[in-house]
Amino acid sequence: MKDNTNFLKEIIWYDIDKKGCVNKPLKNEAVVYIYKTSSNTSKSRYYVGSTIRLASRVGSHRGYVINWDDYKKTRSSIFYGSILKNGWSNFKFGILEYIDVSNIKNIIQKKEILLEREQYYLDNINPSLNICKIAGSSLGVKRNIAFSLKLSKSRRGKSKNPTIKINDKPKVITSETKQKISLRCKGISVKIYDQLNNLVGEFATITSAAKYLGLTHKTISMIFKTGKSYDNFIYQFCVKDVRIWVYNLNHKLVNILDNRKRTSILYNISYCTLNNYIKSGKLYKNKFYFYDINSNNKNNN
- Residue 239: pLDDT band with limits 50, 70, 90: confident
Predicted pLDDT at 42:
58
* Stretch 160-165: mean pLDDT: 46
Predicted pLDDT at 135:
79
C-alpha to C-alpha distance for 295 and 297, rounded to whole angstroms: 6
Number of continuous H segments (helices) and E segments (strands) in the chain: 11, 10
Every domain range in the chain assigned CATH 1.10.10: 180-240
217, 207 Cβ separation under 8 angstroms: yes
CATH 1.10.10 fits 180-240, yes or no: yes
Q: For 176-233, how does the pLDDT look when each residue is reduced to its tens digit (9 = 90+)?
A: 555 444 444 457 888 988 878 888 888 888 888 888 877 788 888 888 888 877 677 8
Instruction: State the pTM of this model.
Output: 0.48
CA geometry: angle at 220 spanning 77 and 217, to 5°? 75
Predicted pLDDT at 189:
86
Helical residues (DSSP H) of the chain, grouped into ranges: 5-9, 54-66, 68-71, 77-86, 107-125, 145-155, 175-183, 206-213, 217-226, 260-266, 271-280
C-alpha to C-alpha distance for 219 and 207, rounded to whole angstroms: 10
Q: For 54-88, how does the pLDDT look when each residue is reduced to its tens digit (9 = 90+)?
A: 999 999 899 888 888 877 766 667 899 899 999 99
Q: Does residue 164 have a pLDDT over 70?
A: no
Predicted pLDDT at 165:
44
C-alpha to C-alpha distance for 31 and 51, rounded to whole angstroms: 6
